[in-house]
Structure 1
Amino acid sequence: MTKATVRGRAGAGTSARQRTVAAAARAAAKRAEKARESSLDEEAAENAAADSAVAENAATESAVADEASASGTGADAEAREQAKGAVRDEAGAEKSAKPARRISGAATAVLAALVVAGLVAVAMLGWEYRDDQRTQEARTEALAVARKAAPEILSYDYRHLDRDFAKARAHLTGSFAGEYRTTTTKVVAPTAEKYHGVVTATVAKPPAGGAPAASVVSAAPEKVIVLLFMNQVTNSTQVSGPRLDLNRVRMTLVDTSGGWKVSALDAL
């Protein structure tokens, strides 16, 4: 009877401990599930899962220990020690797996960052190369337009002013086109007609020959500034003979849907 009572008390105590450990394991499992569902922190989910595994292993270890204690035999004691060892090995494996997963995740993040940085560098180099190519094309095209446009903008003959001014306006754009129309209509045309003015402008050339004296001051894919040395020969009733004026002109050209056009012209 005494043995039965002791065994019964031991069984009741064991059952209570098992229920407590099992409850802890279930609570830990719920926390792990909640962490996984919320996706707030992957590491928190892994820790919670590890806690759940440890709690379950502890429950198993406690159950094995209680069974071995209740039986009291040497064979059961040996089995208990083996079970504890298995539980400890499983818990150790679970804990050692966490750093491995963290290292793997860090390596993946570093590799992804390097790939993104490489792609950005390639894109920047490609953009700079294309921009440089467009700038070189702009320099060549705008300089050619400036050499042609400058003589037509700065020349006129009182005998066919409308034709000369229309030819000049074809090279202009923006507000400068309006300014040119106003100046030629209100100032240049009346004076030229009154004094029979004829102005012939050309881009200066070196005495020994060579390319016209025009060069690019600054250039961008959509805007180019050109400096030109101009010779202007004026004939009119106000002077006894042809008068030569040597001028420097700064011309601003912009790329439009109709090609390169002059947006500003300043005498220096």
Structure 2
Amino acid sequence: MSDVPTWYDLLDVARDASTDEVRAAWKAQIADLEPGERRFDALNRAARVLLDPAARAAYDAEHPVVDDQHCDEREPEEPLVASLPSWDGRNGGVPSWLLAGLAVVAAGLVTITAWTWTSSSAGASGTDPSVRQAQVAAERAVVPVLSYDYEHLDDDQRAAQALMTGSYRQEYDKLFSVLQENAPRTQTRVTASVVASGIVRASGDRVQVLVFVDRPTTNKLGSEPVVYKDQVTLSMQLVDGEWLVDDLITSPVQG
């Protein structure tokens, strides 16, 4: 029996909890957290998986053992499935920043750093032109998607939405609503910038790009920015000749 806590443990709900119970537990646990805290991000990820029927079914299949011991301090392993987004607040995003959550790309996918990464200013020699276009689009999109200012959240939301597919926009909007509730109270501002990026995998009209991002964050507790460093996996989808964000997963850079 594995002692690794699950998303159910993190939210402190039963395996057979209803959607309403999961949503209530999620909202209760993030109520007093700053957008951008590691736990805030983890709770959003858990909610995104467990509130999506298909993602939850896949997660349950990967984690068939029920562990009755709840652990609120450790972040559970991510499921080896890909689909919805994860955005965190103060760490730079929702979905992260937030804003946020939902069926998660495999932790193994993010740790596949055998890919050849390049600085954002360097060309990807030997790379298919279309794939390179997707990489450039991901670098451009990640900044507005992971940046926001509590004083003009509506404008920030519209700027990010323009760079997303319709399906991802729906998930983004769900999590952005949490940001809209919390950011004005905490007076949070996040300004993301790209450090480097690389291709994780490419297949036809879909390309996954890993982007390293700095996210200086300020709030009412201090005017000096705290710089969060994250690795962001963006799934870019080609739609009518334009590369759009179809999924976004963030996790803090380790070490």
Task: Name the structure where helix makes up a greater proportion of residues.
Answer: 1
Using structure 2 for the length normalisation, give the TM-score: 0.47
Task: Name the structure where strand makes up a greater proportion of residues.
Answer: 2
RCO higher in 1 or 2 (8 Å CA, sep ≥ 6)?
Answer: 2
Using structure 1 for the length normalisation, give the TM-score: 0.45
Greater radius of gyration (CA): 1
